[in-house]
Structure 1
Amino acid sequence: MSRSALYSPQKQSGMGLLASVVLAAGVVAAGFLMATALKDFRKYDQFIEVRGLAEEIVKSDKASWNLSFSAVAESPQAASQAWNTKLEKLETLVLGMGFEAADIRRQPMNVFENVNPNGGFVEPEKRWRAQGGIVLETAKVDEVEQATLKTDVFLNENIVLESSYVQFYFTDLNTIKPRMLKAATENAKEAAQTFATDSGVTVGALKTATQGLFSISAPLSEYGGDNTVMKKIRVVTKVQYLVE
């Protein structure tokens, strides 16, 4: 066969046509894959972001009771001695309320000279003042709450309280975290489904979820709550769901 026959115009035309068909098929296939990828990308890019709320009322499991008082005398030494005498009486009374000695922590005593703010005369027997107190830290929450209502027993022993401040705490947060996070996530899913129904779409798979901070406050307020036995635990989660 001659060389001219191998490379005849007819052969070259056929090969060109075949190459064009293959190229066209490749372009169509590539276009189809790109369209599918773009569709999947857009599908993944469409999502609903909602927040889920969970709240729970719990009882405090720890209490801190701060008691402070002072004693006056004509000298620093006498004021310090008078204060220590009152301190022993105070601790005895607290122990008599059903608390343990290990729960009592003494605060430092401060001794200072009394000064009349108006520049008047200070009685010699009241010239020096010793001041301090104790902090009771216990898990006996109910007993502390009742004891704070009976501070007149201290007055009967000539102990005038200058401060009687109680704080209640909830420290077992890890125990209720799992169920609260579950409740918050379920609340978010309900919100997403409501939003999706109103928008004419369907909630798909979970895309992302972010846990918010747990807050502890008074049952009827978003703030404070240190002096309330019952606490409100609150958490808000942010969740994103894909839509179909």
Structure 2
Amino acid sequence: MTTSRSSHALIFAIGAIISAGLLSYGLITSVNDFRSFDRFVTVKGLAEREVKADTAIWPLKVVRAGNTQNLIYEELDKDIQAIRRFLLKNGFSDADISISAPNVFDKLAERWATEEVGLRYTGDQTLTVYTDQVDRVRTLRQQLSELGKQGVGLSGNNYDTMVEYHFNGLNDIKPSMIEESARNAREVALRFAEHSDSQLGKVRMAYQGQFTISDRDSNTPHLKVIRVVSTVEYQLVD
């Protein structure tokens, strides 16, 4: 009986030792895996392209002043038609052109008006060119003096008469730019791992930043700079 109990006790002790050993090995492995996973580097990769605008929006605003409404409407229409002929002669089509309704204001109708208002009526009207002929717009803007010589009352360089240049081909270059930014991020991570005596592991997380489109500078708004930054976390291993 005593021998049987001793054998059972011995078997139990051996099993306990083996279980404890397996548990210790599992804990050590888990800790090492956790420490390995806890070591990571976060890097950013930039992709940048300079592109040419593919669309121009060119508002041409005429202004007139006078003492009769009929005269204002006649002069605005005369100016708008002169601008239209000028544009058609220089390579644009009616499909590129839109014309807003004229705005005529009576100064005496304002609450703060007095009888000494000078010319009673002022009016304006805008013709807008929407086109993909960006270079033609840039060239023709330098020839607006021809309209001035015809007596067309063009408005000056106000905010609402500035040419807008846009780039609409972003979707065509998005994939290659994302790939480039991710590649640049990996190159940075590899250099970091090399300097820290580590090896680059798997990607833990990745974030694609927003694409931004901005003018290259204030003097060349028809040239755009497109940027995207990707943020990537890589695991570091020994």
Task: Report SS of the residue matched to 1:44.
Answer: helix
Task: Report SS of the residue matched to 2:163.
Answer: strand
TM-score, length basis structure 2: 0.89
1:209 aligns with 2:203: no
What one-letter code is carried by the residue in structure 2 that aligns with 1:237? S
Q: 1:143 aligns with which of 129, 136, 140?
A: 136
Q: Corresponding residue for 2:51?
A: 58
Q: 1:162 aligns with which of 137, 155, 159?
A: 155
Distance 1:31 1:121 in 2: 99
Q: Corresponding residue for 1:32?
A: 25
Where do 1:31-110 residues align within 5 Å? 31-110=24-103
Bigger mean CA offset, 70-79 vs 204-213: 70-79
Distance 2:40 2:209 in 1: 20
* Contact 1:72–1:82 (8 Å) recurs in 2: no
Deviation track 1:29-79 (CA, whole Å, cap 9, x = no partner) reads 122122212212221221110000111111110001011111223222321
Report the CA distance between 1:207 and its aligned residue.
Answer: 1.8
Q: Corresponding residue for 1:5?
A: none
* Contact 2:64–2:153 (8 Å) recurs in 1: no
Distance 2:154 2:222 in 1: 22
- Larger Cα Rg: Structure 1 or Structure 2? 1
* Contact 2:66–2:72 (8 Å) recurs in 1: yes
Q: Percent identity?
A: 28
Task: Report SS of the residue matched to 1:129.
Answer: strand
* Contact 1:95–1:101 (8 Å) recurs in 2: yes
Q: Corresponding residue for 1:4?
A: none
* Contact 1:103–1:138 (8 Å) recurs in 2: yes
Distance 1:136 1:235 in 2: 31
TM-score, length basis structure 1: 0.87
The 4+ residue runs of structure 1 with deviation greater than 6 A are 117-120
Report the CA distance between 1:92 and its aligned residue.
Answer: 1.4
Task: Report SS of the residue matched to 2:155.
Answer: strand
1:182 aligns with 2:179: yes
Stretches of structure 1 that go unaligned for 5 or more consecutive residues are 1-7
What one-letter code is carried by the residue in structure 2 that aligns with 1:205? K
What one-letter code is carried by the residue in structure 2 that aligns with 1:90? I
Q: Corresponding residue for 1:194?
A: 191
